[in-house]
Amino acid sequence: MLGLLFCAGCIAWGSALLRIVGLTLPRVERSVIGPVVGVATGTWLLLQISSFFHALSVAALIVTLGIFAIAVVVARRRPQLGPGKIPLWFLVCAAVLVAALVALNLYAVLAPSRDGLMAFEHVWADAPFHTSIATAFAYRDVYPPKYTIALGQPLNYPFLVDFLTGTLLRYGLGLRGSFIAVNVFIQTAFFLGLALIVYRLSSSARAAILAVVVFFLLGNLGWLAVARDVSHAGGFLSWIRKVPWSYTGETAGVSGKERLGTGLYLGNPVFMHLLPRRSAAFGMAVGASAFLLLDDLVANAAMSTAIVTGLAAGVLPRVHAHTAIDFAIVAAVWFAVEAFRRRSDRDARGRLIRVVAVAGFIAVIVAAKDVAAMQTQTGHFFAFWPGWTGEPRSAFTGPFRLGRLPGALATTAWFWILNAGLLLLLVPFAWVEASDRLKRWYAPFVVVWLLGFLVRTQPWEWDNNNHFVWWQAATIVFVSPMLASWLWARTSAVRSLAVASVIALTLGGVLSFVYGAEHRLHLWSAGDVKFAKDVRLATPRDAVILTGNGHEEPVVYLSGRQAVMGYAGWFSSHGLDEPRYEHAVNTMLAGDVDRMRRLGVGYVVLGPWEDGQAADQHFKIGTAFADRKLFDLVLQETFDGRTWQLLKLR
């Protein structure tokens, strides 16, 4: 299958690239960095070639694979990189991660059941948006890409992960298989990258494995509400059979506020990021490898590292913009600190400046086109936004008075103690024990936290969680060596403290997964999937279809065809004009045929989502759709007790 061949080619390309430039990192680090950089840059390259051909065609794939093959041939003429050994702990960690992540994805992502496709809560919320992009790449060709959910709007969202998924869907795998294959790869790559960062900084395999476990199961202090909830449920067994909330956080913070008096928004990073937020997950995979490269670059000033770092940084804006911003912050701080440390050695300082300049030049060249395109949509996203969200945001909002400042700071401190949990409280203790190198590594992530706390980088302020998740990861890197030393300390009191700390760190995360497993939500029935496929087969690739804008309207998210408008909730977070689009959809569903012709709408879907929208918005579906002089009936299907029609405008 061409899709899997492309993935194998990406991995070979990444390994060849490292050999061509002569990257001298340990073999275990190259085993992660090579595939990650290969998949990220290889997918980006396929996107550029597909844009040239105006199609994700076989020709585009063959040209891309040809470039990969040339790179492999050239690499074989270069000296072999150091053989080294991949340690057993790393292999075991990788195997366990793959098994756990495959099982988790099979249960949480587009999982088939008697009722149709099911998903964990946050996967359910985001999956239709990602399927709309992936199916568009798989089933039609629009370059430069446009939002499926917003007619005519250029797709400046970081969509590279969905382009990769669409490639697999178009050339071999089904929708669910494509999603899970990509998910497992990028999730595993992030965790292994995280482990290698800890291992490099601490030389401790125990600390590296502990960091993976803590991040996977990370919680906060939401578990303080367990006793209350068990009592309200009438006992432990009744409570555990139907856990009422995630015990870490949610986008609205309601459950935490009801139980603890303060909203909880910073949830388990796997439950809220790696599983549902696919661009964020890809960004974290590429980011972990990029931070490994960057750390080596500022420490050793090797030109080979500069080249690979520049390529990884260059594709980051198209992978995940928030990670690109955070990477730039960390790079600037690390470079400034290292340049200052080398101020007395002009040669060493000059070499550092040269390699950083080369990495920056490559990154700018690769990223320039993507950044320029994204700025047309995101230029108004940034705003001074002290407090981020919830109680701190309220405390810092309004006219500034010096007398309010102590209260605002106290509110903020309590908010973050509850939201970050024991992880935050361990930082001062870790600082006392940490090496100077570990302190220098961690310091810029405090700046990342300050950015998330003070500046809104997307219209929906909760999305600053994309910055805080990097602070969470970095803080785990920072405290894990200390926790590992406690766990294997000679005194039982210290070991007991360490065990209690790990439990306090992870109990909320465990409960998040229990909650997710017990509260899977329905996405699409088998009939929904079939109708979307039938619509795709009955319409041309460039068809524009009028539908309702429901969150799970199957034609919008599964057919691969261009809709006028998708779910309104995504419009605000992407800076799109929701009122204009919704007015257009409502007037056309009410029978405005002239507007349909002006917008290029060729087909109309009428079904329960459209009827529901008419009822909610207080209008009636137009009688014009029954006029066979205006509309031909293309499809009519009844399933799940509901009738759907596909009409073609004459």
Give the closest residue to 134 by CA, choosing from 160, 164, 166, 103.
166
Neighbours of 254 (CB within 10 A): 12
Distance from C-alpha of 185 to C-alpha of 197, rounded to nearest angstrom: 18
- Asked if residue 354 lies in contact with residue 428, where contact means CB atoms within 8 angstroms, the answer is no
Strand partners for 437? none
Pairing of strands 562-563, 544-546: parallel
Q: What is the pTM of this model?
A: 0.96
Q: What is the pLDDT of residue 607?
A: 94
Q: Where are the domains of the chain?
A: 214-273+382-518, 525-649
Q: How far is CA 639 from CA 528, 530, 617, 645, in A?
A: 8, 10, 25, 12
Q: What is the pLDDT of residue 403?
A: 67
* pLDDT, tens digit, 9 for 90 and up, residues 169-189: 999 899 999 999 999 999 999
Q: What is the pLDDT of residue 83?
A: 78
Strand spans (E) along 96-176? 111-113, 116-119
Q: What is the pLDDT of residue 401?
A: 65
One DSSP character per residue, 97-124 reads HHHHHHHHHHHHSSEEETTEEEE-HHHH
Give the closest residue to 212 by CA, choosing from 443, 604, 476.
476
Q: How far is CA 92 from CA 96, 98, 192, in A?
A: 6, 10, 11
Q: What is the pLDDT of residue 396?
A: 86
Extract the tokens encoding 31.
Answer: 């085993």
| 3-state DSSP assignment of residue 604 | strand
Which residues, given as ranges, of the chain have pLDDT below 50? none
Extract the tokens encoding 359.
Answer: 């990495």
| 3-state DSSP assignment of residue 150 | strand
Give the closest residue to 325 by CA, choosing from 122, 463, 188.
463
* pLDDT, tens digit, 9 for 90 and up, residues 428-448: 999 999 999 999 999 999 999
Share of the chain above pLDDT 90, in %: 89
Distance from C-alpha of 151 to C-alpha of 503, rounded to nearest angstrom: 49
Q: What is the pLDDT of residue 585?
A: 96
* pLDDT, tens digit, 9 for 90 and up, residues 550-563: 999 999 999 999 99
Query: Hey, CA dihedral for 313, 314, 318, 324, is it positive or negative?
Result: positive
Q: What is the pLDDT of residue 378?
A: 67
One DSSP character per residue, 512-566 reads HHHHHHHT-EEEE-HHHHHHHHHHHHHS-TT-EEE----TT-HHHHHS-PEESB-
Distance from C-alpha of 569 to C-alpha of 571, rounded to nearest angstrom: 6
